[in-house]
Amino acid sequence: MAESEKSSAFKFLHTITKPLFCYGENRFLEELNPRGGETICEIGCGNCDNLIKICKRNQNVNLIGFDYPEEQTKSASKLVKEKGLEKNIKVLCGLAHEYVFDEQIDRFIFSYSLSSIPRPKEVLTNVFQQLPPGGTVHIVDFGNFEWWPTIVKSPLIGFLNIFQVFPEPEITSIFEHNKECNIDLEKKFGGYSFLAVLRRGL
């Protein structure tokens, strides 16, 4: 399958199966509970659906949608503008493993994106080191289905891999020996998904 076909097929499937595949996303957004004046950046924001929801719940926060390539950020900017939220949500384009933000970001969020962004360990390291003390990284993503029967688990993982989605629920272990990082990790639904919060020490 050509890359462009894979990407269109993934976007289509992502849209129709979003409620099933994005299990836990709503709870993840509710638990964010940002303080006024904070800046939140979603890495791999897609069409900025999550940021639009956050914007509706929290008026007094600065929101940044970050994605790659430019084709994706142009389409996200267009949707944000159509909703009249361009003053609330800024959209930036770049490669997440190396991008350096001009402004201070208090919270980075990854919603079902870390598993599909290349070099995810470098991505996490890059954003974590740009956090101020007390800043957080919030992740919700696919797990490795450890409690699921092999007959379901193997085709499911195979299906995700076709669309370049590679679940890595143990990824936060790269911070295990980092004294500046506090890790909260919760696996859900027999390993279907995981929620993680990384907090940079004060």
Give CA angle at 172 (146, 123), nearest 5°.
Answer: 120
Q: Which is nearer to ligand SAM, 83 or 147 (CB)?
A: 83
Find the part of the chain contacting ligand SAM (CB under 6 A) among 33-41, 115-123, 131-139, 143-151: 115-123
Query: At 67, which helix (H) or strand (E)?
Result: strand 62-67
Regarding 116 and contact with ligand SAM (CB under 6 A), the answer is yes
Among the residue ranges 28-36, 38-46, 80-88, 131-139, the one whose residues contact ligand SAM (CB under 6 A): 38-46
Q: To 5 degrees, how large is the angle CA 187–CA 120–CA 48?
A: 80
Angle separating helix axes 49-57 and 25-32, nearest 10 degrees: 40
With residue 107 as reference, give the H or E element that holds it. strand 107-111
- Which of 29, 55, 63, 117 lies at the binding interface for ligand SAM (CB under 6 A)? 117
Q: C-beta of 54: minimal distance to ligand SAM in Å?
A: 12
β-bridge partners, 39: 62
Q: Which is nearer to ligand SAM, 4 or 150 (CB)?
A: 4
Nearest distance from residue 145's CB to ligand SAM, in Å?
18
